[in-house]
Amino acid sequence: MQGLNVFEKGIGYLWACLSLYTGACGYLCLYAAALVYICLRGSRREKEIFLPCSVFLILTVYNPAAPVILDKFFDVNNEYYRFFWLLPVIVLIPYLFTKLIFTAAKGTDRVIVSLLILCICIVSGKFVYSDGIRLAENIYKMPDELIEISGVIHGDSGAEYPKAFLEYEYNMQMRQYDPKILLTIDREDYLYAAGNAYTDEMLSDESHPQYRLLAALVKMQPVEEEAFLDALEETKTEYVVLNKNNPKTSFLLTAGLKKVRETENHIVFKYNIKEPYDFELVDYSV
């Protein structure tokens, strides 16, 4: 998850997750304040609904030891942040704000309370356009260069469904823009690579040849040319797209890959598969 790893961070993993996925923790502060209000001023029914689940969350999800313990039984590196969106946190704050507004007397008092709550929401969050407005480059809302790379691959390949290795951002965007380009690396493998190095045992694992590609091109670990080319062959990867600043571009040329085209910031390399294959979509209608 964004390069975070429970094993490396230990009990600090929770705070690192919170800083990435809750900003300045303003939302959690509002949640804590809402709990205090419910404890002091809430009705019996409100306490029965909100307090037990909140205590449970504090002892589990928001307990720094929880991810460390869970990681001993499950791989929580990629999914732990989803716990932050559990229903009690999402429901309590708007519920309390709504109650405060309608508890106030009609007229000026209600308007003032509404404005104060609006100010609290604005101050505790981050304005969506604080970094400026980015206009879409095209109707697909994808980088023009990505669309160009897609055209280069289809124009060069004789296959209807060519397979390509792309760096993380383009890998995530290409699967949305062009489903006819098969991706060598899936999301889970990329997320693992973001926070972990590959051991010799993993690199020699014949059942996961993509590990060698990620080790060489993402983690910059030393991988022998023959092992790298075998991984391309086993995964049937015909194209490799790297940023021009990637130090592994020379490695690809030395390994025998051909440069197909250069775009503004990327280079499209081609590997000639020894045993080409035709990908066919599964017909679920029969």
Is pLDDT above 80 for 21?
no
Look up the pTM and report it.
0.68
pLDDT over 70 percentage in the chain: 93
pLDDT in tens, 230-275: 999 999 999 999 999 999 999 999 999 999 999 999 999 999 998 8
Q: What is the pLDDT of residue 22?
A: 66
pLDDT in tens, 25-75: 777 788 889 999 999 999 999 999 999 988 888 888 888 888 888 878 877
Tokens of 191: 């997320």
Is pLDDT above 70 for 285?
no
Give dist(CA 258, CA 52) in Å, integer.
Answer: 62
Is 8 or 215 the better-scoring residue by pLDDT?
A: 215
- Residue spans of the domains in the chain: they are 6-124, 144-270
pLDDT over 90 percentage in the chain: 57
Is pLDDT above 90 for 223?
yes
**Number of other CB atoms surrounding residue 173 within 10 Å:** 17
Q: What is the pLDDT of residue 63?
A: 85
Mean pLDDT of the chain: 88
Strand partners, 241: 166, 268
Q: What is the pLDDT of residue 23?
A: 61
Tokens of 197: 């190095």
Q: What is the pLDDT of residue 147?
A: 97
Give dist(CA 60, CA 191) in Å, integer.
Answer: 24
Q: What is the pLDDT of residue 90?
A: 79
Q: Residues 212-238: what's their mean pLDDT?
A: 96
Give dist(CA 12, CA 71) in Å, integer.
Answer: 14
pLDDT band for 102, please (50, 70, 90 cuts).
very high
pLDDT band for 194, please (50, 70, 90 cuts).
confident
Q: Residue 81: which of 67, 102, 100 has the closest Cα?
A: 67
Q: What is the pLDDT of residue 261?
A: 97
Describe the crossing of helices 87-103 and 108-124 by its angle, rounded to 10 degrees: 150
CB contact at 8 A, 238 and 159: yes
Question: Which of 8-17, 41-50, 129-138 is predicted most confidently?
Answer: 41-50
Tokens of 58: 């504090």
Q: What is the pLDDT of residue 260?
A: 97
Is pLDDT above 80 for 91?
yes
Is pLDDT above 70 for 78?
no
Is pLDDT above 60 for 1?
no
Report the DSSP pairing between strands 239-243 and 163-166: parallel
Q: Residue 214: which of 248, 243, 182 has the closest Cα?
A: 248
Is pLDDT above 60 for 2?
no
Q: Which helix (H) or strand (E) holds 261?
A: strand 258-262
CB contact at 8 A, 47 and 31: no
